[in-house]
Amino acid sequence: MTGDTAQQKTRPYACSYFHDRTQWALTIHAYDWKDAEARCLKLGLNLDGELVGTVPMPIGVFAKMVCAVRNLLHTS
């Protein structure tokens, strides 16, 4: 990195790709939209947009139980 780029902070961007007829999502960090496009192009990803916020959401007891049972079944 050189000059101003080294001092800039990265921002999160939402990306996706298809594998086995299923869409998968992930987050990359880039300096700006153009940088995110270049990174996605190099990695073979679709750039879906910039993440500007998250909404925390409490999950209920039922959801926690379902996750625990599912995790137990998949680790056996």
- Number of domains the chain is built from: 1
| Nearest of 73, 76, 31, 23 to residue 50 by alpha carbon | 31
Among 1-15, 20-34, 51-65, top mean pLDDT goes to: 20-34
Q: Can you give the pLDDT at residue 49?
A: 95
Question: What's this model's pTM, rounded to 2 decimal places?
Answer: 0.65
Instruction: Say which residue, 54 or 37, is predicted with more confidence.
Output: 37
CB contact set of 11 (below 8 Å; sequence gap of 6+): 29, 30, 31, 32, 50, 51
Supply the range of the domain harboring residue 17: 4-75
Q: E strands, 1-76, where?
A: 11-19, 22-30, 46-50
With 0-12 CB in 10 A as exposed, 13-18 as middle and 19+ as buried, what is 15?
Answer: buried
What is the Cα–Cα distance from 76 to 72, expressed in whole angstroms? Answer: 7
